Amino acid sequence: MNGAPASIELAALRAGHLPPTPFTLALQGREPLVAEQVYRHLPGRRLVFRARADGQALLVKLFLRRRDYSRECAGLDLLHGRGVPSPEVRWRHQESRAWVLATEFLPDAYGLANRLDAAEAEVDVGAVLALFGALHRAGLVQRDAHLDNFLIRDGVAHAIDGAGIRRARGARASRANLALLLAQFPPAWDARLHGLLGHYGGLDDDAALRRDWRRARLRRLRDYRRKCVRSCTEFVVERSWRSFVARRRDRDDTGFLHLLADPERAVAAAPRLKDGNTATVVRVSGAARDLVVKRYNVKDWRHGLRRALRRSRAWTSWQSANLLHHVGVPTPRAVGLREGRWGPFRLVTYLITEASAGVPLQDWVEARGAGELPEWLDRALLETLVALAAAGLSHGDLKASNFLVEEAIQRLLLIDLDAMRLHRCERSAQRALRRDRERFLANWDGALRRHFAQLLAPLERSEPHCG
């Protein structure tokens, strides 16, 4: 028999304590709130949860800073005043340096972020674009336009984040805000989004939107690249005089933490996949799944001196792997980074990724013979290069052996990312991407070279510009 839900006081919430759900929160003069599910918890700032009071389901936002509460309320008031779909406010409450906003809970509503592969995804995206058009025609913008700040219910999108709502300063601000929304989608969605922009209504300058779109994506990727090397919701980073360590926050099992603390032990003992002058790669068996540890070697003291004050190849690979995952390009998931350091000087560095059962593309093609390549492989290769181009990313060494073929699940993975670059200038990106394609084609002869050259021909673009 389950006991009654635990009770918590506002003072405990301010201290960062949060019991497992369900729990009860008592407020002066109101029916106690029974929290059923927590959606977001920022200790010392905010708690968002689904609750029940008086038999009614509510979405409750509890703020521990007055300015956050004021922004949320002001934004929701603007949305309601301009007729933009948004959950209705049920009540507001303040006590003991805490501010509570309760809105209606939208049952069966969902966000876009985890539904882009669903069959009805284009209908849902169209609904969000229609909401954005209504928002802008009402003279408002959403400064925090990530995909889960909009919920869809019965085909209608609702704006749920009042804190990001501001008054627009003209058509240019609205266009830049639309570009910010479009930049939240993976590059594979670009062509589909162009076809769905009719739902937004009233685009005045398509070329200007494209430029703003690219700039917004570049800013977003640069922000995410910095996020990979600081502690946040997704990553944990620890710095000391002797080391720099980063890992995914969801990788906290004991075995992995021991591996990250001393990867050299694994390199010395585990089976080697590669043993070269520049890198040593081993495969480590784990309880959940196998991992790959890549040690970037220092060849001699001169090489070490040249590399000591530069960004390490492991650092670049860590950021690049996470960027690729962020834009939807398949690559083995990077889960940990370790740099040995002596103050500002970098020493031996390690990258840990999830293992893949894939075979290098060139070996896979040679083993398969000269027959026709499967359609899924062509599609996967083209989608990868299109996504890199849309994101302004170049690989730097796009030989065929840097693709892994996972035939059983029809997937192509990109590996060896230590020369990858995120380009600010589109002219620079196009030159680098052209070199990538030339490097890839140089691996093939005869009919295979003609096949891949024809497949990749549409990627050639004209009139590059800097954004």
Residue 364's pLDDT is 92
- Which of residues 432 and 202 earns the better pLDDT score? 432
- For the domain that residue 26 is a member of, what is the CATH number? 3.30.200.20
What pTM was computed for the model? 0.83
What is the pLDDT at residue 466? 43
Taking residues 351-358, report their average pLDDT.
94
Q: List the one residue out of 352, 195, 364, 197 whose CA is nearest residue 265.
A: 352
Same domain? 404 vs 322: no
Three-state SS for 195? helix
Model confidence over 128-180: pLDDT tens digits?
999 999 999 999 999 998 888 999 999 999 999 999 999 998 889 999 999 99
Q: Between 307 and 310, where is the model more confident? A: 310
- φ, ψ of residue 318 to 5 degrees: the values are -60, -50
Average pLDDT over residues 203-216: 87
Domain-ending residue, one of 295, 324, 354: 354
Residue 447 and residue 365 share a domain: yes
In a shared domain, residues 182 and 271: no
Percent of the chain with pLDDT over 70: 94
What's the domain range around 193? 121-227
Answer yes or no: is 109 within a domain.
Answer: no
Residue 410 Rama label (left phi>0; alpha psi -120 to 50; beta): left
Lowest mean pLDDT of 49-53, 195-199, 245-249, 345-349, name the range: 345-349
Together in a domain, 212 and 314: no
Q: Is the pLDDT of residue 205 over 90?
A: no
Long-range contacts for 215-218 (Cβ within 8 Å, ≥24 apart)? 215/179, 215/467, 216/176, 216/179, 216/180, 216/182, 216/183, 217/183, 217/187, 217/390, 217/391, 217/392, 218/392, 218/422, 218/424, 218/467
Q: Domain check: are 97 and 172 in the same one?
A: no
Query: Amino acid identity, residue 142?
Result: Q
Residue 417 lies in a domain: yes
247 neighbors 210 (Cβ within 8 angstroms): no
* Range with the poorest average pLDDT among 5-9, 65-69, 106-110, 452-456: 5-9
Considering the domain boundaries, does residue 111 fall inside one?
A: no
The verdict on residue 114 lying in a domain is: no
User: Which CATH number covers residue 414?
Assistant: 1.10.510.10
pLDDT at 464: 41
Determine, yes or no, domain membership for 116. no
Across the range 61-66, mean pLDDT stands at 93
Mean pLDDT on 12-26: 81
**pLDDT the model gives residue 340:** 84
164 shares a domain with 125 = yes
Task: Indicate the pLDDT class of residue 299, thresholds 50, 70 and 90.
Answer: low
Whether residues 81 and 12 fall in one domain: yes
Mean pLDDT value of segment 272-300 = 82
Q: Classify residue 340: in a domain, yes or no.
A: yes
Domain end marker among 290, 320, 354:
354
At residue 303, the pLDDT reads 52
The band of 274, judged by pLDDT with boundaries at 50, 70 and 90, is: confident
Residue 241 has pLDDT above 70, yes or no: yes
Q: Taking residues 248-277, report their average pLDDT.
A: 88
Is residue 153 situated within a structural domain? yes
- Bridge partner list, 6: 23
Which residue, 326, 354, 382, sits at the end of a domain? Answer: 354
Q: Is residue 39 part of a domain?
A: yes
Verify that 344 and 374 share a domain, yes or no.
Answer: no
Average pLDDT in the 367-373 region? 77
Q: Which residues pair with 151 in a beta bridge?
A: 158
- Overall number of domains in the chain: 4
Both 338 and 267 in one domain: the answer is: yes
Residues 425-464: tens digit of each pLDDT: 888 989 999 999 999 999 998 889 999 999 999 887 544 4
The whole-chain average pLDDT of the chain stands at 88
In a shared domain, residues 223 and 239: no
What integer is the mean pLDDT of 373-385? 93
In a shared domain, residues 211 and 314: no
According to the model, what pLDDT value does residue 26 have?
A: 85
Give per-residue pLDDT as tens, 382-402: 999 999 999 999 999 999 999
Q: What is the per-residue pLDDT for 277?
A: 78
Q: What is the reported pLDDT for 447?
A: 87
Indicate if 350 and 254 belong to the same structural domain. Answer: yes
| 301 pLDDT more than 60 | no
Say yes or no to pLDDT of 467 above 50.
Answer: no
Query: 1: pLDDT confidence band, cut at 50, 70 and 90?
Result: very low
